């Protein structure tokens, strides 16, 4: 038996083992870079054709009677207005319901009640958006919207907006609940200690303390509502073109639904020049809008993470 010389390299272990460690690290970091590659590819796919659209389009057609991409009329006001209408209605539905659900679950519900009620939101979150589209078209539009407003068309933006709202309730509730649970217990105890009632503590102490997280919840939900496609595509009532309107009781096309319509005109996504390129231009606008909102929301989330 020979004696081996021990030095620091012995502790480091077998060379093959070290090499394997390095290889694993390289593989993992390569995988992590994949997400950056996805971002780069998204921007690449949007920018080229969007730029071509901006360079080629006749600017007069961007402000016209409506969105008729197949006739070369691209009135941006039509689809932007429809997007804002749908998003606003969605938020009017989702913000109070989602926030109230979050407050109840985080401040009032006993653990057992929570266990029963929380899955309701989780199931709703799992319902695919095409299903909400069908529900908006088949139930919300005929039973609710046309009953409330007799002038409403059978398929309209308002019904689609309510559908999108239902879809975003779980999202608001989940982010808002995170924000509320992050508020330290000591604040609630101090408030109760001063004699405040539960309601006062909730409204005056907990909600203001969680305000940055709640703001983030609303911004993320708004961004999600802007980007929602299928509900409006199914329930919005416009086939592939829309006359300009600011009336939520009329049919309409949002930016996303307009994109889906351009793409689904034929089974093969192709088509002549500008019509096809408008898809990318609208997509690019959409990407910029949602990214800005997500970045702002991210700031707010980080603020509540830092505070507590």
Partner 1 sequence: MATPTVTKAGTDVDILSGLRRKSDIGGVLFRWLLLGSLLFTLVVLVVLLGQVLIDGWPILGSRLGDFLSTGLGSKPETSGIVQGLRGTFYLCLITAVVAFPLGIASAIYLEEYATRGKFATFIDLNIRNLAGVPSVVYGILGLTIFVKGPGIGAITGGSTPFAAGLTLACLVLPVVIITSAEAIRGVPTQLREAGVGVGATKWQVIKDHVLPYAAPGILTGTLLSVARAAGEAAPLILIGSVTGFMSGHPAWWDVGQVRESFTAMPIVITAWARQPQEGFKVDNAAAAIVILILFVLLLNSAAVVLRNRFEKRREG
Interface positions, 21-50, toward partner 1 (CB under 8 A)? 21, 24-25, 27-29, 31-36, 38-39, 41-42, 44-46, 49
Residue 73, classed as helix, strand or coil, is strand
- Stretch 155-174 residues interacting with partner 1 (CB under 8 A): 166, 169
Near partner 1 by CB under 8 A: residue from 78, 223, 245, 277: 223
- Stretch 260-299 residues interacting with partner 1 (CB under 8 A): 260, 263-264, 267-269, 279-280, 283, 286-287, 290-291, 293-295, 297-298
Measured from the CB atom, is 153 or 224 closer to partner 1? 224
Residue 157 CB partners (closer than 8 Å, separation 6+):
82, 85, 86, 89, 232, 236, 237, 248, 249, 250, 251, 252, 254
Neighbour-count burial for 243-282, b at 16+ CB within 10 Å, e otherwise: ebbeebbbbbbbbbbbbbbbeebeeeeebeebbbbbbbbb
- Stretch 190-209 residues interacting with partner 1 (CB under 8 A): 192, 197-199, 202-203
Measured from the CB atom, is 71 or 197 closer to partner 1? 197
Minimum CB–partner distance for residue 251 and partner 1 (Å):
12
Q: What is the DSSP letter of 242?
A: E
Near partner 1 by CB under 8 A: residue from 58, 63, 71, 119: 119
Q: How many whole angstroms separate alpha carbon 6 and alpha carbon 180?
A: 57
By CB under 8 A, which span of 53-61, 79-87, 114-122, 176-184 interacts with partner 1? 114-122
Identify the CA nearest to 300 among candidates 203, 222, 186, 226.
222
Number of residues interacting with partner 1: please give it, by CB under 8 A: 89
Measured from the CB atom, is 152 or 293 closer to partner 1? 293
Minimum CB–partner distance for residue 76 and partner 1 (Å):
17
Calculate the dihedral angle through the C-alpha atoms of 91, 94, 100, 101, rounding to the nearest 10 degrees.
-150
SS3 string, 94-118, reads: HHHHHHHHHHHHHHHCCHHHHHHHH
- Stretch 50-89 residues interacting with partner 1 (CB under 8 A): none
Measured from the CB atom, is 123 or 148 closer to partner 1? 123
């Amino acid at each position: 038996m020979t004696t081996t010389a021990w030095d620091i390299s012995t502790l480091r272990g077998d060379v093959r083992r070290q090499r394997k460690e390095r290889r694993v690290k390289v593989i993992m970091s390569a995988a992590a870079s994949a997400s950056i590659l996805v971002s780069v590819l998204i921007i690449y796919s949007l920018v080229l054709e969007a730029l071509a659209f901006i360079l080629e389009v006749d600017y007069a057609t961007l402000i016209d009677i409506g969105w008729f991409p197949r006739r070369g009329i691209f009135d941006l006001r039509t689809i932007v207005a429809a997007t804002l209408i749908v998003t606003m209605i969605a938020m009017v539905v989702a913000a109070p319901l989602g926030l109230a659900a979050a407050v109840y679950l985080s401040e009032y519900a006993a653990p057992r009640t929570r266990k029963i009620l929380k899955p309701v939101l989780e199931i709703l979150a799992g319902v695919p958006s095409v299903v909400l589209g069908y529900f908006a078209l088949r139930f919300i539009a005929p039973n609710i919207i046309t009953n409330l407003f007799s002038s409403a068309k059978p398929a309209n933006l308002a019904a689609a907006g309510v559908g999108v709202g239902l879809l975003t309730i779980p999202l608001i509730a989940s982010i808002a609940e995170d924000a509320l649970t992050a508020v330290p217990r000591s604040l609630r105890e101090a408030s109760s200690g001063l004699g405040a009632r539960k309601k006062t503590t909730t409204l005056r102490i907990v909600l203001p303390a969680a305000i940055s997280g709640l703001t983030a919840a609303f911004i993320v939900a708004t961004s999600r509502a802007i980007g929602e496609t299928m509900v409006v595509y199914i329930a919005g009532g416009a086939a592939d073109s829309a006359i300009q309107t600011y009336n939520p009781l009329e049919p309409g096309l949002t930016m996303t639904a307009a994109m889906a319509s351009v793409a689904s005109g034929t089974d093969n996504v192709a088509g002549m020049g500008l019509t096809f390129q408008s898809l990318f231009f609208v997509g690019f606008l959409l990407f910029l809008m949602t990214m800005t909102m997500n970045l702002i929301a991210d700031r707010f989330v980080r603020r509540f993470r830092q505070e507590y």
